[in-house]
Structure formats: C-alpha cells, structure tokens
Amino acid sequence: MTITKSSQVLNIQTLVWVKPSEISIPNTIKDWLLDETSLTEKLKKTYPNFNLKVLSQKDTLPYANEEFIVLKKTPSIREVLLLNEDTPLVFARSIIPYTQDTKILCGINNKPLGEILFNSNNIKRSSFEITKQNNIWGRRATFTLGKTKILVAEFFLNL
C-alpha cells in the first residue's frame, strides 16, 4: 500500500519502526504521535466534521514488517481514512486475526475501530513504535484482546 500526502509518498512495506526515544520528534506532531488516549475521540473533538471512510477490509497476508503478530490463518486487514469533511487527516491500517476474541470486530463497517478498542475494559495497548518517511509520521501499537494481538498503525497526513 502506498499513501500520498501532497507530493509525499509513503510505502508501508519498507517502513522501519523505532521506539519514540530513538527518534527526534518535532513538537508540532509529538502531541498527536505520543497521545495515549483514543485518536478517534481526539479527532472528533478537534475537527467537528470528522468522518471515517473504509478503503478496504479484506483477508490478506500482512507485510513482512507486520508479521510479528502471531497468526493461525490469514487475517482481516482493514484500511481506513479518518477525515475532516473530505480532507484526509489520518490513514490507519489494522491487522485483525480471526479468533474468538475478535468476532466483535468483524462486522463494524464504518464504525471506528478505536471506539470499540477504547470502550472495552479488557484491552491492553503496547508501547508505541514510531516511523517517518518522506515527512509522513506514523505510529503503531498492538492491542491485546483476550489472547489475540491486533496491530494498529496510524499515519498522520494533514494535522
């Protein structure tokens, strides 16, 4: 998958992810990248015309840099844009393994995944990993739901 931001291009397959302490993050993006609250809720509060557009949700193999998620079969990979009206703010890519733990996530359609993850008491999030390519910043973390790890990566396009 390739994402564009103006004339900037991001190739997700070639990203290198690091701990936040291993990269210098400008203050202009730091509050977004390292915020541990729900990104969906923060965007809704900041942008009154927030909406979500599902680009795809299909069963397919993850990229090599996403394969640390333990899979028993091909997962569902969900790609969405979080928008303010028609302006893309964030591109998100989630790797959702099919297990008993993730049944609730299979039919969420246009509902933000973050709303479900942050409204569940039994979900734990890992520390963030950060990436930057061609002036596009991203973060990712795993959310553990029961015994299942879900990988969520978010790329900040126009904040």
Tell me: pLDDT of 7 over 80.
no
Average predicted confidence (pLDDT) for the chain:
85
The pTM (predicted TM-score) of the whole model is: 0.88
Alpha carbons 46 and 61: distance in angstroms, whole number = 34
User: Where do the structural domains in the chain lie, given as residue ranges?
Assistant: 2-156
**pLDDT at residue 121, as a whole number:** 72
The structure tokens 């790797």 sit at: 95
CB 69 within 8 Å of CB 95: yes
- The pLDDT of residue 99 is above 60: yes
Instruction: Mention the CATH class of domain 2-156.
Output: alpha beta
- List, in order, residues 6 or more apart from 21 with CB less than 8 Å away: none
Positive or negative torsion for Cα 14, 90, 25, 6: positive
What confidence score (pLDDT) does residue 8 get? 59
* Higher per-residue confidence, 9 vs 41: 41
117: pLDDT strictly greater than 90: no
